[in-house]
Structure 1
Amino acid sequence: MILPTITVITLTLLATGANGRQGFGSGEQEWGYVTVRPYAHMFWWLYYTTANVTNFTEKPLVIWLQGGPGASSTGYGNFEELGPLDLDLNERNYTWVNDYNVLFIDNPVGSGFSYAEKYSGYPKTNAAIASDLLACIKGFLTELPVFATVPTYITAESYGGKMAAEFAYVWYKAQTDGIIESSLKGVAMGDSWLSPMDSVNTWAPYLLATGMVDTIGYEKIKAAAQATQDAVDEGRWSDATSEWATTEYVIINVANNIDFYNILYKVAPSSSSSAREFAASKALLRDERDDQLDELMNSVVKEALGLNVTWGAQSGTIFAALYADFMKPATDQVEYLLNNTDINIFVFTAQLDLIVDTPGTVLWVERLKWPNATQWLNSSRNPLVIDSVIEGYVKQDNNFKLYWINRSGHMVPTDNPVATAAMLEDLTSNADS
């Protein structure tokens, strides 16, 4: 494949007040590494906003964390979902950079351009990932201290949401304890792997209700899900991840290769030869255009940023390092946020997403223990209306909101950018408070 030539256009400093470098594509950017632990190096890539403001500090900083674990924010999130350029290097008119400063972090260590020098450099738990991310933010703010007073928001997708919940809590605590000078104001967790078994146990009824399987298929999926549940109940966490992979493989067989990230995407018959092979490929995100993204990141992007690390080379290794942690829930971290912070806490779920389906998300959200839980449960769900169209629904109490996003799969920023923009505006509404 021949990639088109990219013209680098530097915005004038008067337009944004930025001091960024010429990175890849148009606009002012900055990027760098933070050594978060011995042998562990985390990569970040900042896009200064292109909004019509006197100074970029007039707009919030929004951080994007990808899932996997092992998928890359600088790759997938940037070029597949919300960055200035899409994967074909066309300008994206709904990029978040139009309205916000956007920071992509390749997390955990081993994802994208982040890398470990030896196996001890890989995190093995969600707590270790959160600690690494806090160290990364400290390094980022040391490099660009002007962002210490800029209202900041964590946004995340899939396994990134599991990381974001714990990261937000440890960051908030460090911020209130005076360990870090920053302005964390909110976190939004989208289609997040926060309660894995609630997702796995609702796959069968969700697929039956949407007509994607028949009763025989339903029973096969249900049986595989029960084997996964048994492993979790017995504390066999690595086995639980293996059984999760088997359950997904059963779904592929009975639903003839349904796309886990949007059940309405067009797909070809499956060619995976085993459950483990299938899970390894799916865990790192949709693989339809992976070869194109890999070539892009390891050619012109890598050259433009002056990097000598192979993008994505350690993605499989970091997934393996977290294999025993993969199926562990992190809903307690959301409860910590609700009970101990005053930041905006958003959860959003997509109508057409299978891997972290809406029924499963609603189950764990409604079980959360916090002072306003009953009040939230009894509150009304209101339509999210944009240009006379219902783009979703929202239910709220105080600083906690659950968004249902219509006509969207796992990649909400791509599938429904209109609803995403409205939700982001709501998330950042406390920027001046």
Structure 2
Amino acid sequence: MIRYFVFLLFIQSCLITKSHSKSIIRRLPGYDGYLPFKLETGYVGIGEKEDLKLFYCFVESTRNPKEDPLIFHIPGGPGASALFAMLEEAGPLTLISDNLTLTLNPYAWTKMANIIFVDIPAGTGYSYAETKQGWTSSDTILAAHSNEFIKKFLIDHPKFLRNPLYISGYSYTGIVVPKVTLDLYEGIERGEQPPVNIQGYILGSPLTDKFMDINSRFEYAHRMALISDDIYKEAIDNCDGNYVDINLANLVCTNSLRSYEECTSHINVDHILLPFCNKSDPTLDCEFRMSKALSKWANTDLVRQALNIHQGKVGKWVVINQTLHYKYGKSDTICYSYDIFSSFSYHKQLTSKNCRALILSGDHDFTFPHVGTEQWITLLNLEVQTPWKPFYVDDQVGGYVTEYAQNNYSLTYASVRGAGHTVVFFKPKESMVLAQRWFSSQTYSSDS
């Protein structure tokens, strides 16, 4: 309580109007009528000169916004726009690609949480910079800017200061989210203002270690019968456990991995059972079709006006900025440095905090397979509270859950049956049920 009153004094000294522009959005092109939820969009200025302008969409919980959790969501990539997460994953609306209409998402996480969807870094979605320096970022800078955004947002929205705060992300931001979370905990310990109520983090199919997760694809390929026992055994015997950084002088290993590459190079890494997507074939129903529809919607003048995008500052909206997007082995670019190789140490440090973690993996994800995720979770050396067991949705097995703990730290890991890389996109109901039970600390064996 004392910290809260200290913050009230602190907030009076802050010129928040300089860094923050916002609007309440009541209608959106494609949706028939007024939005049945509170949507706020705006820009937050980041940096000493506030030359980085980060665009966000903030959706209040339709249940109890005063008490429900506050989720700060960092999309993957880096360079993936938060608009995809809001309209195709956990947000309150879904875009219908055939006619660009919007419908309510029955499995929206905003039914149980307030969510901030942010485009970060500059060059992502509708975010931009006013100086050359503002266009430059890295994993560590992205984490610092996320921390700054959260604090400025809460200064401007003090009624959410006491809500339980969770940092979420998927895919590449598994590298960043644990650091953001740890930085917030350490900031509280130092007495930083505002006094955020950080409670934990949520990750979907996260990249955690840039070697371990990519290397685990080989083991996963064998488990899913993408490669034969002979290919697997030959590589196991000759590659010394390294299936990524290949020693070209080791010809036996090289030949084994050449066979592995031949067997897997035309597998859809986002979901191994779906067609291998080819942009030149419009008949394939894959992510390119959805991305094209979302791009068309997001670039219309009516949409940009409705969202109050800064005119003349933002170019064409894209689902993911390929200049920023990471692929294994990619060198730093002129605008982004991939300077965190592994976030495992941040996870490890968080085990000493009063912290909760929810980790979701799709069992058909070949991008960052569940095999690698389970490896680093094991390395945390946590006590197993609830061994691997099924969870049920509509009387069917939705996947499998293991619960871990150490002192005041707890981690819930769920392998979601039939899900690909973006778990919430492929299995929205199962994901929502997992989140609901996790937030309310219900048992996972019960049906929903």
TM-score range, shorter chain: 0.7 to 0.9
Deviation by residue 1:385-405 (Cα, 9 ceiling, x = unmatched): 233322122222332222221
Separation of aligned partners in 2, 1:313 and 1:289? 10
Picking from 302, 305, 308, the partner of 1:306 is 308
Distance in 1, Cα, partners of 2:433 & 2:320: 35
Correspondent of 1:423 among 411, 416, 434: 434
Give the corresponding residue for 2:90: 82
Matches of residues 51-70 of structure 1 in structure 2 within 5 Å?
Answer: 51=63, 53=64, 56-70=65-79
1:380: which partner in 2?
Answer: 387
Contact 2:291 2:319 in 1 (8 A): no
Residues matched between the structures, number: 374
Three-state SS of the structure 1 residue aligned to 2:94 is coil
Q: Distance in 2 between matches of 1:61 and 1:313?
A: 24
Whole-Å Cα distance in 2 between the matches of residues 228 and 31 of structure 1? 42
- CA distance 1:96–1:317, change in 2 (3 Å): same
Q: Could you tell me how far apart the structure 1 residues matched to 2:103 and 2:163 are?
A: 30
Aligned to 1:35: 45
Q: Secondary structure at the match of 2:95?
A: coil
Q: Deviations over 1:413-433 (max 9, x none)?
A: 122223212321244237xxx
Query: For residues 217 and 36 of structure 1, what CA distance do their matches in structure 2 show?
Result: 51
1:154-205, CA deviations, whole angstroms, 9 ceiling, x for partnerless residues? Answer: 2211012221111111122223433122222121111101112122212123
Checking the alignment, whether the CA contact within 8 Å between 1:220 and 1:250 is kept in structure 2 is: no
Pick from 405, 426, 431: which aligns with 2:416?
405
| 8 Å Cα contact 1:252-1:258 kept in structure 2 | no
Unaligned 5+ runs, structure 2:
1-22, 97-101, 248-256, 326-332, 442-448
| Equivalent position amino acid for 2:245 in 1 | Q
Deviation per residue, 1:55-92 (Å, 9 max, x gap): x213222222210111011x211122122222212322
Mapping of 1:158-237 within 5 angstroms? 158-179=171-192, 180-214=194-228, 226=242, 228-229=244-245
TM-score, normalised by the number of residues in structure 2: 0.74
Q: Is the Cα contact below 8 Å between 2:108 and 2:432 reproduced in 1?
A: no
Deviation at 1:44, TM superposition (A): 1.4
SS in 2 for 1:86: strand
- Does the 8 Å CA contact 2:61/2:111 hold for their aligned counterparts? yes
Larger radius of gyration: 2
Secondary structure of the residue aligned to 1:201 is: helix
Q: Give the whole-Å Cα distance in 2 for the aligned partners of 1:342 and 1:195.
A: 24
Say whether residues 1:318 and 2:328 are aligned partners. no
- Structure 1 residue identity aligned to 2:77: G
Shift, 1:124, TM fit: 3.8
| Change beyond 3 A, Cα 1:117–1:312 | farther
Deviation at 1:313, TM superposition (A): 9.2
Calculate percent identity across the aligned residue pairs. Answer: 23
Structure 2 residue 373 is matched with structure 1 residue 367: no
Superposed displacement of residue 288, structure 1:
3.8
CA contact (8 A) 1:20 1:48 kept: no
Matched with 1:117 is: 130
Structure with bigger strand share is: 2
Q: TM-score, with normalisation over the residues of structure 1?
A: 0.77
1:89-126 alpha-carbon deviations (Å, 9 max, x no partner)? 23221112222222101123321112223442245432
Structure 1 unaligned segments of length 5 or more: list them: 1-18, 232-247, 273-284
Q: Which amino acid aligns with 1:295?
A: K
How far is 1:290 from its partner? 2.0
Distance between the aligned counterparts of 1:128 and 1:250, measured in 2? Answer: 40
